[in-house]
Structure 1
Amino acid sequence: MTNLSKRILVVDDAATVRMYHRTILEGAGYAVSEAVNGIEGLEKALSVPYDLYLVDVNMPKLDGYGFLRALRAETIAQAPAVMISTESQGRDQTAAFVAGANYYLIKPIKPQELLAVCRMLVGAGV
């Protein structure tokens, strides 16, 4: 993508978390969109191509696992997804990978950690 930012969709029901991720990612040159739950995230993912998804596990209407399962079932170009959660048990990480996650981060996330994972999965922002 020449001269265009990589597009990241942040799917989280907490406004403060979305703002935190947006600030970090936009500061690094990424283009960020937001969704408040898995249903809104899926609608956005099906209408606009994204380079990466940052997905919370626990959300109303459709949780992160359901979002990823539904997204991976679609016949669209599939971008990597990072599951982000306060859940730190091995079974939670396994469930995320089974649902279609490519990486798993445990909250709270340090800005450098978030950016390192994004760069690893999609490259630099600009």
Structure 2
Amino acid sequence: MKTVLIVDDAVTVRLYHRELMEALGHRVIEAENGVEGLERMADAAVDLMLVDINMPKMDGYRFVQAVRSDARLGSVPIIMISTEAQYHDRARAFSAGANLYVIKPTEPEYLQQLVTLLLGTPDAVVSVGDHA
């Protein structure tokens, strides 16, 4: 069982992503912002992160930069998921260290396919189309 950290200030988004991850058989940890996300990872090993951009206290960009500067967490895959759809938002996410960038609202099957791909789930058949 893999552990997915969901960092988003919207309760409904966290619930939606939790349901999608649990349907894949993953354990889920939630955080309302980047500061809380870093605190949650101090207590548990995380295999993948789903991170929003616009959050109070610490936004997604700063959170990803903090994760990438931590030797213990630096290689954990990160999918940034945001309503921000401009090229500069995507470029800034990748510059911060995100592996993938997805625009909300996400199609459930697409997000599950990306997670499966990044986690290297055995025997998974993944077909990723152009949803960027």
What pairs up with 1:54-69 in 2 under 5 angstroms? 54-69=50-65
Instruction: Say whether residues 1:50 and 2:73 are aligned partners.
Output: no
Cross-structure match for 1:103: 100
Provide, for residues 34-92 of structure 1, a one-character-per-residue CA deviation record: whole Å limited to 9, x for no partner: 00000000111233211100000000000000100111111214210000000111110
The runs of 4+ residues in structure 1 deviating greater than 4 Å are: none
RMSD: 1.2
For structure 1, the 5+ residue unaligned runs are: none
1:67-86 paired onto structure 2 within 5 Å: 67-77=63-73, 78-86=75-83
**Relative CO higher for 1 or 2, CA cutoff 8 Å, sep ≥ 6?**
1
Aligned residue-pair number: 121
Give the CA deviation at 1:27. Answer: 1.1
Q: Secondary structure at the match of 1:9?
A: strand
Q: Provide the C-alpha distance between the structure 2 equivalents of 1:96 and 1:118, rounded to a whole number of angstroms.
A: 17
- Secondary structure of residue in 2 paired with 1:60: coil
SS of 2:72's equivalent in the other structure is coil
* 1:89 aligned residue: 86
Q: 1:25 aligns with which of 16, 21, 25?
A: 21
- State the TM-score, normalized to the length of structure 2: 0.88
Look up the equivalent residue of 1:25 and give its one-letter code: M
TM-score of the pair, normalised by structure 1: 0.92
